[in-house]
Structure 1
Amino acid sequence: MTYKSIDPLTYDAQLERKKDQLSKVFREVGIEQFDVFKSEPLHYRMRAEFRLWHEADDLFYIMFNPQTREKVRKDSFLPGSQLINQLMKAVREYVIDKPVLRSKLFQVDFLTTTTQQAIVSLLYHRPLDDEWQQYARDFHDYLQAFATPVHLIGRARKQKVVLGSEAVIEEVTVNGHSYQTIQTENSFTQPNAGINQAMIEWVSHQAGHNEHDLLELYCGNGNFTLPLARQFKQVLATEISKSSVNAAREGAQLNQIDNVTIVRMSAEDFSQAIQGKLDSRRAKEAQLEQFDCQTVLVDPPRAGLDSLAIDLVSQYPRIIYISCNPDTLRRDIQLLSGQFKVTAAAMFDQFPYTEHVESGVILERIT
């Protein structure tokens, strides 16, 4: 993605091309109609990572052209939130003439929220000594002028220094209710806040209100888990990342949600445990036998569902499938096609001006 490709005047045309491409993928599995959710054309990304380039006295952000690998200077970032752009300028101007902060600094990561909180992470190829930490404290104080709060994190090999907090709080509104989620530095979060809210609202609408329980695989920080908890008797969720599990549990407490159980297990191990093929202390502690799950929600990585997960989800009457890869989604729908039919589908333009697209389908058991 280059600056030349980021033009709001071309956004609708590129969205139409994506829609056409996804239509071909969906048509192969019998899907003719699907909802389309547009992104904001600018300032839609809430997180971004930049390499730092040192050139004599100059210091600037770069990204690499994905086709040519040529470095491209970035003094601002049109897809990034307004707060990311403000912080980009502030960080560069503050660090450029301070050798203690600048030396061996090779990357800066930004995580922002719609609640105007931020984390700035500085990545170094050297140890962060006492002198660095003294300068970093002053830098942290300086950054508070840009948002409330801005946290500063320094990272080096086997070292992490946190000034403030490792997490920020994001907020979404679904069905008139506001939910706060914990977003932790260096952990996965949905980058496009507007599209993320659209995805949650679509899933919520499709899920409806139920007298049974929900099983969720790959729950992350509880992005879908917490809003959907109102719509099911209980939610049983799994996630392998320790930081994401902690964030999801903290989010449940923050929102006073008491019907969610989160198990720290991979989807593969959980699939075997719930089918009695793997002895697991964590699964036993969750008391899996108490759940009456009849809907399963999955939001897997680009590789889609493995064979164990396919076997597991096929045991439930309804599958809600969010995908970041139309090709593996198509494959998995085909694997399930003998038992399930698609009753709803959607496209979410999570990454404007790129070929990437997020999609969702509802699969219901054929009776």
Structure 2
Amino acid sequence: MNDYTQQLQGKKDCLKTLFAGLDVPEWEVYESPDKHYRMRAEFRIWHEGGEMFYAMFEKRTKRAGGASLIRCDRFEAASEAVNRLMPELIVAAAQSPELKKRWYAVEFLSTLSGEMLVTMIYHKKLGDAWQQAAQALQQQLGIAVIGRSRGQKIVLKQDYVTETLKVGNRDFRYRQIEGGFTQPNAAVCQKMLEWACRAAEGLGGDLLELYCGNGNFTLPLSEKFERVLATEISKTSVGAAQWNIEANGIGNIKIARLSAEEFTEAYTGKREFKRLKDGGIALTNYAFSTIFVDPPRAGIDEETLKLVSQFDNIIYISCNPETLRANLDTLVETHTVERAALFDQFPFTHHIESGVLLKKKILGKSKR
């Protein structure tokens, strides 16, 4: 058993133990490449004896104290595009006193096609001289560069990359903005999207999605439903989602800038929101058959969970199996778990991404 297979088996065992006592079908498992799977990476820039290099810090035990410095000339977890660029960037920046001086950290955001956005973070004010040097660097390496310092964000070209993900027979384009949330493992993300679409097959009606982000799941799922209403509180993510909808020519999605808690208040009639009215959204016009949720690590709050339990079909993507288990303890009172999947989004870490499809019980049996 190789290292990757062994770590994946550990995650399978973890889920089986954690969900023991619940009626959950056999977990479907979706593997990751064992290297070059992360589209994002970030490093400290370490200056030592006139040399610069990428560095990360590994936490030590309390007894050892502090954190140990690890030099990173390569980073196998990161995409091949990031690994190709790393030495070129450090060499080019080292030749420019303006780029080199007080350069503190760097963030890479890449795509499957190799498009690259690099954020260079400094402990100094960035002026015209830095901008001129960074423009030259950008042109030399064929990348987009952003400069950041305290109170400063200088975008030289653009602050996003455009990713293309294939789901079924269709390619979907996504604008992924610097600093915004995106799934880091594009290969596994495609598998997650395909799984969600298979789970939604034949459900029909309208879809409600909470926590939609930049529309990662929203776009492909829109093909499975008459209409989609998706909610997201982040202005940055909503802007990206609107661009993605238009760029992909999808006409049956509306985005509401509401948190899950706010939408629950609107849906239950406790509160009216001008944002819904201004967006031309009337909740009474929808015939929701299904709710899709991809909540933060804290899981779904109690009031939103009451809302979720009202839907016939629930597709739940989770980045924290412990909060998923806690939420399922409530949801299995009204629903049965029809499908369950493990997505190895974060290989060689303790993080586990998973998904379940639940259907409402009818007279003690699942609705099929």
Fold-level match, TM-score > 0.5?
Answer: yes
Aligned sequence identity (%):
45
Cα offset for 1:32? 4.4
Q: Is the 8 A contact 1:26 1:32 kept in 2?
A: no
Cα offset for 1:30? 2.2
The answer for the alignment partner of 1:333 in structure 2 is: 328
**Distance in 2 (alpha carbons) for counterparts of 1:67 and 1:264:** 41
The answer for the alignment partner of 2:365 in structure 1 is: none
Q: Does 1:60 align with 2:58?
A: no
The answer for the alignment partner of 2:337 in structure 1 is: 342
The answer for the alignment partner of 1:86 in structure 2 is: 84
The answer for the alignment partner of 1:272 in structure 2 is: 265
The answer for the alignment partner of 2:64 in structure 1 is: none
Letter in 1 for 2:144: H
Cα offset for 1:210? 4.1
Greater mean alpha carbon deviation, residues 63-72 or residues 169-178 = 63-72
The answer for the alignment partner of 1:126 in structure 2 is: 124
**Distance in 2 (alpha carbons) for counterparts of 1:221 and 1:84:** 23
Q: Is the 8 A contact 2:98 2:129 kept in 1?
A: yes
Letter in 1 for 2:285: Q
The answer for the alignment partner of 1:223 in structure 2 is: 216
Alignment CA distance shift 1:362-1:211 (3 Å):
closer
Alignment CA distance shift 1:134-1:269 (3 Å):
same
Greater mean alpha carbon deviation, residues 63-72 or residues 255-264 = 63-72
For residues 183-202 of structure 1, the aligned pairs below 5 Å read 183-202=176-195
Letter in 1 for 2:343: F
Cα offset for 1:126? 1.6
**Distance in 2 (alpha carbons) for counterparts of 1:357 and 1:78:** 20
For residues 287-302 of structure 1, the aligned pairs below 5 Å read 287-302=282-297
Q: Is the 8 A contact 2:39 2:186 kept in 1?
A: yes
Letter in 2 for 1:326: P
**Distance in 2 (alpha carbons) for counterparts of 1:281 and 1:362:** 33
Q: Is the 8 A contact 2:56 2:69 kept in 1?
A: yes
**Moved beyond 4 Å, runs of 4+:** none
Q: What residue ranges of structure 1 are gaps of 5+ in the alignment?
A: 1-7, 145-149
Q: Give the alignment partner of residue 106 of structure 1, picking from 104, 107, 119.
A: 104
For residues 126-165 of structure 1, the aligned pairs below 5 Å read 126-144=124-142, 150-165=143-158
The answer for the alignment partner of 2:351 in structure 1 is: 356
Question: Aligned with 1:366: secondary structure?
Answer: strand
**Distance in 2 (alpha carbons) for counterparts of 1:268 and 1:34:** 30
The answer for the alignment partner of 2:162 in structure 1 is: 169
Please give the TM-score of this superposition, normalised by the length of structure 1: 0.94
Q: What residue ranges of structure 2 are gaps of 5+ in the alignment?
A: 62-66, 363-368
**Distance in 1 (alpha carbons) for counterparts of 2:244 and 2:25:** 37
> Can you list the C-alpha shifts for 1:217-255, whole angstroms capped at 9, x where unaligned?
111111000011111011100111111111111011101
Letter in 2 for 1:75: D
Letter in 1 for 2:331: L
**Distance in 1 (alpha carbons) for counterparts of 2:346 and 2:59:** 15
Cα offset for 1:91? 1.4
**Distance in 1 (alpha carbons) for counterparts of 2:93 and 2:342:** 41
Greater mean alpha carbon deviation, residues 197-206 or residues 11-20 = 11-20
**Distance in 1 (alpha carbons) for counterparts of 2:68 and 2:32:** 28
Greater mean alpha carbon deviation, residues 288-297 or residues 322-331 = 288-297
The size of the alignment, in residue pairs, is 355
For residues 235-274 of structure 1, the aligned pairs below 5 Å read 235-274=228-267
Cα offset for 1:341? 1.1
The answer for the alignment partner of 1:18 in structure 2 is: 11
Letter in 2 for 1:353: F
**Distance in 2 (alpha carbons) for counterparts of 1:276 and 1:159:** 42
**Distance in 1 (alpha carbons) for counterparts of 2:253 and 2:106:** 35
Name the Cα RMSD after superposition.
1.3
> Can you list the C-alpha shifts for 1:55-113, whole angstroms capped at 9, x where unaligned?
12011111111344212111110000000111211111111232211222111000000
**Distance in 2 (alpha carbons) for counterparts of 1:74 and 1:216:** 40
**Distance in 2 (alpha carbons) for counterparts of 1:66 and 1:239:** 34
Cα offset for 1:256? 0.3
**Distance in 1 (alpha carbons) for counterparts of 2:100 and 2:270:** 53
**Distance in 1 (alpha carbons) for counterparts of 2:42 and 2:161:** 17
Q: Is the 8 A contact 1:274 1:283 kept in 2?
A: no
